[in-house]
Each structure stands twice: as C-alpha cells, then as structure tokens.
Amino acid sequence: GGIITQTPKFLIGQEGQKLTLKCQQNFNHDTMYWYRQDSGKGLRLIYYSITENDLQKGDLSEGYDASREKKSSFSLTVTSAQKNEMAVFLCASTKMRTKNTEVFFGKGTRLTVV
Amino acid sequence: GQQVQQSPASLVLQEGENAELQCNFSSTATQLQWFYQSPGGSLVSLLSNPSGTKHTGRLTSTTVTKERRSSLHISSSQTTDSGTYLCAIGASGGNYKPTFGKGTSLVVHP
C-alpha cells in the first residue's frame, strides 16, 4: 500500500496572501490531482498532472498555480487568498488502468482566510 | 462536460436497514468509482466498478454502462456507515479527470 501526505493540515491565511499547499505520494503513481471541496458544491478539479513537470488546468484553475517538480510531489499555490474563504483542498493520485482505475486521496488541507 | 447526479441527496435509516444509492451520469464512462467520506474526513475508495456487479463486504455495486447509471447497495447498515457517499466517473486515457457527484449523505440511527 501507499499513502498520500498533505501539508499543512490546517492553514490560516490573510486576505491577499500567497499560500502554498504540498502533497507527497509514495504509490509511484503517474497522475496527481488537486481538488477543492466546498460545502454543497462537491469536488471541483483545480489542476492535475499526468507526469513529472506536466500541468493541466481543471475547471477551477483561475486564482491558482501548481507545480510538479518530481513524480512524488505536487504543490498548489493560492495566488491571492480571498477574504472569508473556507474550503478543503484534497490531493489525489492514480495509476491509469484500462479498467478499474482507482484514485486515492490525502486527508486534506483546510483553508480559512481571515 | 460530464455531469454526475446522485440520489437521494440524503437518507436516514435505522441500524439494520438496507440502503440503495444511485449515481446517474451524462456521458459514457469507462471508469467509475464509489467513495466514502466520514464527517470532516477525507475520501476513502470503496470500490471501482465501471460495469457489471461487484461485491465487497456488505457493499454491492451494479453499473449498467449503456444506461449510464450505477447503484451502491449497503446491506444491514450500521451506525459507522454514516457519512457521505460519492460517485466519480471518467473516461480511460492519459488525461483521466474524474468528475464527482455531490454525494448522498447517509445517517444511520442506533
């Protein structure tokens, strides 16, 4: 088995601040994802990466940057935190298969902007 | 883009009752996965079932790909089953981007 580690678990930022969230996986998976989860809105894809140094925009990429310097790590930057923003950011990874592909998630980073 | 509708939005049961959760999707999916999320917790993969019927423990998933629907049956529910159940679908390929439904919130009372 493997594990996805997200740091920090809790992040409190100030309006306008640039904030970075980190994710590490030891599954040796090729593809990694960043999702945002808001109450009542489900999970929305921010960025994903199919291999080292690759970046693909999701539906919610505006206001975010991402970086995949190594296969095992994928970081997300909130370029300018919005006041009163509260959300959970979830990192995930997978190894594509023809069938029964499974995506695995980290425990999340909870962001609060004051 | 792809859309995923889950029903019911919420479900309340007494311990021991069975639960039937539905997932309908707007376009052909060659990958489908069910997840469980405990209150305040992260997503845990329950099973991957893009077609046919699959069992694991008290869970049974049936996916009818041509009809773009999947169900998750939980037998003999327990209070520890309480939480949110999410369905995610996508198409196989290098750019695999799972699309999630909003989930079914399940509460099981003792």
- Tens of pLDDT, residue by residue over B2-12, are 899 999 999 99
pLDDT classification of A13: cutoffs 50, 70, 90 = very high
Q: φ, ψ for residue B81 (rounded to 5)?
A: -80, -10
Q: Do A101 and B43 count as a contact with CB atoms less than 8 A apart?
A: no
CATH of the domain at A94: 2.60.40.10
CATH of B4-109, one of 2.60.120.470, 3.90.70.10, 3.40.50.150, 2.60.40.10: 2.60.40.10
Residues of B in contact with A98 (CB under 8 A): 92
Q: How far apart are CA A55 and CA B13, in angstroms?
A: 43
Q: What is the mean pLDDT of residues A108-112?
A: 96
Domain span at residue A98 reads: 4-113
Minimal CA–CA distance to B83: which of B48, B32, B47, B41? B41
Alpha-carbon distance B51 to nearest alpha carbon in chain A (angstroms) = 9
Instruction: Please state the domain count of chain A.
Output: 1
Alpha-carbon distance A98 to nearest alpha carbon in chain B (angstroms) = 6
Q: Do B31 and A101 count as a contact with CB atoms less than 8 A apart?
A: yes
Alpha-carbon distance B69 to nearest alpha carbon in chain A (angstroms) = 16
Residue % of chain A over a pLDDT of 90:
84
Exposed, middle or buried: residue B100 (CB in 10 Å: 0-12, 13-18, 19+)? buried
Enumerate the domain spans of chain B.
Answer: 4-109
Alpha-carbon distance A45 to nearest alpha carbon in chain B (angstroms) = 8
Q: Do B98 and A96 count as a contact with CB atoms less than 8 A apart?
A: no
Residue B104 token pair: 């079914």
The 3-state secondary structure of B35-50 reads: EEECCCCCEEEEEECC
Query: Hey, of A7, A30, A33, A105, which one would you mutate to test binding to chain B, going by the most B CBs within 10 A of its CB?
Result: A105
pLDDT digits (tens, 9 = 90+) for B24-83: 999 888 899 999 999 888 899 999 999 999 999 999 999 999 999 999 999 999 999 999
Q: Do B42 and A107 count as a contact with CB atoms less than 8 A apart?
A: yes
Query: Which pLDDT value is given to residue A18?
Result: 97
pLDDT digits (tens, 9 = 90+) for A27-78: 999 999 999 999 877 899 999 999 999 999 999 999 999 999 899 999 999 9
Minimal CA–CA distance to B12: which of B107, B92, B110? B107
Query: Which pLDDT value is given to residue A41?
Result: 78
pLDDT classification of A97: cutoffs 50, 70, 90 = confident
DSSP B27: S
- Choose the closest CB to A108 out of B42, B94, B101: B42
Minimal CA–CA distance to B33: which of B75, B63, B74? B63
Look over chain A and give the mean of its residue pLDDT values, rounded to a whole number: 93
**Per-residue pLDDT for A6 more than 90?**
yes
Minimal CA–CA distance to B15: which of B80, B69, B78, B62? B78
Query: Which pLDDT value is given to residue B92?
Result: 75
- Report helix, strand or coil for A88: strand
